[in-house]
Amino acid sequence: EKVIVNGELIERKDAVMDIEDRGYQFGDGIYEVIRVYNGKMYTAEEHLKRLYESAEKIGLKIHYQKDEIKSHAARLIDENMLETGIIYMQFSRGIAPRQHAFPLKDVACSYIAYTREMPRPEASLDKGVKTLLVEDIRWLRCDIKSLNLLGNILAKQKAAESDCYEAIQHRGEIVTEGSSSNVFIVKDGTVMTHPATNLILNGITRQVIQKVCAENAVPFVEKEFTVEQLLAADEVFLGSTTSEVMPIIQVDKTVIGEGVPGSMTRKLQELFSQHIQ
Ligand code: PDD
């Protein structure tokens, strides 16, 4: 198994991290998860664009060109003979004596990447999943794909403890997003999701769903919706790199629609499957 450490392709067992890496000490860094289907990266350009945007937002300098990162990833896929899975990549603000403020002199970012086999979640995609509502306690820059994920982790853990697939977060009345996904409702044939503000991560899957809706004359609106609207929706689904278009058939104790994936969700799953071919 090969991994990338600071641009070098090495054996995973030889990969080491300094104890004063800022990613490790502060979560001071950013990451991306890119899907691999049939040995090829899916929407790599979009993910890398967001990676550089996240870096910019926290003043982190990635001293690698987009094409370098892309070719590192392609080499990893090749070397590890990955067919279906993900590439994880992260960039931290580097190694420096611990102090909260940025290192004084220019310290190079730390860059690691690895692959993992991960099948498409076919059984869940077919049956739908249960979810749990949790208050969104995260910070106000959820648009940044930051390594700091404590809020997300605590939310997901609550879901896991209730045998739920995902935690749906809300700030007061307003539904924001899942702990690691975007949330969509369908009402009277219109797909609705939280606008891409500082309160959510603008998912690449979300953007693909938006695009296929536009191409297929499916009404799609970016608009805040409430917990009440969520519970009364005709259909609910989530979108993420690993989960694709995942039907949600239950939120807390409330069964959504008929308790099976709805027709719009099925249609979007089909359009999504065509898109990844
Ligand atoms: N989740 N919102 C949050 C908080 C996320 O962590 C993710 C990604 C998304 C969906 O973004 P995208 O469609 O670009 O994956 C939204 C990880 C990567 C996942 O579960 O796949």
Cα–Cα nearest to 230, from 250, 207, 210: 250
* Cβ of 146 less than 6 Å from ligand 1: no
The pick from 131, 201, 202, 268 for probing ligand 1's pocket by mutation, whose C-beta has the most ligand atoms within 8 angstroms, reads 201
What is the set of domains in the chain, with CATH numbers? 2-117 (3.30.470.10), 122-276 (3.20.10.10)
Quick check: 31 and 91 in contact, CB under 8 A? yes
Confidence (pLDDT) at 271: 98
**Ligand 1 lined by 182 (C-beta under 6 Å):** yes
Contact 112, 171 (CB under 8 A): no
End-to-end CA gap in the chain: 27
* 177 Cβ below 6 A of ligand 1: yes
What's the pLDDT score for residue 261? 98
Query: What pLDDT is attached to residue 26?
Result: 98
Length of the chain in residues, anyone? 277
241 CB under 6 A from ligand 1?
A: yes
A 10 A CB-CB count for 255 gives 12
For ligand 1, whether the C-beta of 152 sits within 6 Å is: yes
Distance from C-alpha of 89 to C-alpha of 105, rounded to nearest angstrom: 25
pLDDT given at position 57: 98
85 C-beta closer than 6 A to ligand 1: no
Residue 242 alpha carbon, nearest atom of ligand 1: 21
User: Separation of 105 CA from ligand 1 center, angstroms?
Assistant: 33
Output the pLDDT for position 106. 85
Six token digits for residue 54? 């996240």
CA 181 to ligand 1 center in whole angstroms: 4
105 catalytic per annotation: no
Query: Per-residue pLDDT for the chain (277 aa), expressed as one digit of tens each?
Result: 999 999 999 999 999 999 999 999 999 999 999 999 999 999 999 999 999 999 999 999 999 999 999 999 999 999 999 999 999 999 999 999 999 999 988 899 999 999 999 999 999 999 999 999 999 999 999 999 999 999 999 999 999 999 999 999 999 999 999 999 999 999 999 999 999 999 999 999 999 999 999 999 999 999 999 999 999 999 999 999 999 999 999 999 999 999 999 999 999 999 999 999 8
Q: What is the ipTM score, two decimals?
A: 0.97
Please tell me the distance from the alpha carbon of residue 247 to that of residue 244, in angstroms, as a whole number. Answer: 10
pLDDT at 64: 97
Catalytic residue among 57, 145, 158, 267: 145
- Confidence (pLDDT) at 11: 98
Q: For a pocket test of ligand 1, which of 145, 175, 238, 241 has the largest count of ligand atoms closer than 8 A to its C-beta? A: 241
